[in-house]
Amino acid sequence: MGAPAAKACKRIVLVHGACLGGWSWFKVATPLRAAGYRVDTPDLAASGVDPRPLRDVPTFRDYTAPLLDLLAALPPGERVVLVGHSLGGVNVALAAEMFPDKVAAAVFLCAFMPDAVARPSHVLEKFVEGNWLDWMDTEMKPQDAEGKLPTSMLFGPRIARERFFQMCSPEDLTLGGSLLRVSSMFVEDLQRQQPYTQERYGSVRKVYVVCKEDYAIVEEFQRWMVENNPVDEVKEIVADHMVMLSRPDDLVRCLEDIAEKYA
């Protein structure tokens, strides 16, 4: 079996962060596919081109459903490298809890990474309480008077430019600004969930990719999460939060290394 054929057996699933969509991976998915990997870039519910509005996605599990459906549909014995960016780390953790036998490795790319002790909201609460980010012109507002739906969130142009895309090209910033959608951190719903378990999520091999110039989830907080929930390997890229747009070649090499080692 030649190298491209061997890689064709390896499948990588790229999970976007809040307000983003599968589109955010276009510079990474393309070269990975060209190298022979099978790559999926699902849109989570109410994200990317998914037609649902956020109000139709009341829980984090509803939000994660497209990823969970993808894993549920995998043939018996097939395992994937799951990569979560930003809030996508919590989606990856939920997927690993539900389908530990289908995840060859869970990769957290400058992402929120829950542990198997506290509720999945814990890392988000620590981030907000610690004032790790100046939210600037982010719009956060209740979706309903009763507070049954999670608080909505949309990043404004200033925070996108100064905290997320600061190493990206003007073209990528324009693209991102035109495609961002209202999303949520789903903190209220995640506070009601039980911790993910050591037997399932805790048993999955994990890699954390630190982005050293990230002004959104800063390096110090990324490293705190690794200390809080030790992983099998830590990698580093000198990049901003939107590493898949600003440093796609570095990220592709990083993910190829991970896929070759763990998948």
Domains of the chain and any CATH numbers = 11-262 (3.40.50.1820)
Residues acting as catalytic residues: 86, 214, 241
Say what the pLDDT of residue 86 is: 98
Task: Answer yes or no: pTM beyond 0.75.
Answer: yes
Say what the pLDDT of residue 1 is: 41
Q: Residue 174: CB partners within 8 Å, gap ≥ 6? A: none
Model confidence pLDDT, tens digit, residues 194-241:
999 999 999 999 999 999 999 999 999 999 999 999 999 999 999 999
Q: Per-residue b/e over 133-166, b at no fewer than 16 CB within 10 Å?
A: beeeebeeeebeeeeebbebbbbeeebbbebbbb
Say what the pLDDT of residue 9 is: 79
- The answer to whether the CB of 44 falls within 8 A of the CB of 89 is no
Quote the percentage of the chain above a pLDDT of 90.
96
Collapse the DSSP code of 145 into the 3-class scheme (helix H, G, I; strand E, B; otherwise coil) and give the result: coil
Task: Name the token pair of 63.
Answer: 């939000």
What is the arithmetic mean of pLDDT over 131-145? Answer: 97
Say what the pLDDT of residue 8 is: 63
Say if residue 27's pLDDT is above 50: yes
Cα gap 104→77, rounded to integer Å? 11
Question: Could you tell me the CA-to-CA distances from 44 to 67, 97, 118 in Å, in that order?
Answer: 7, 17, 24
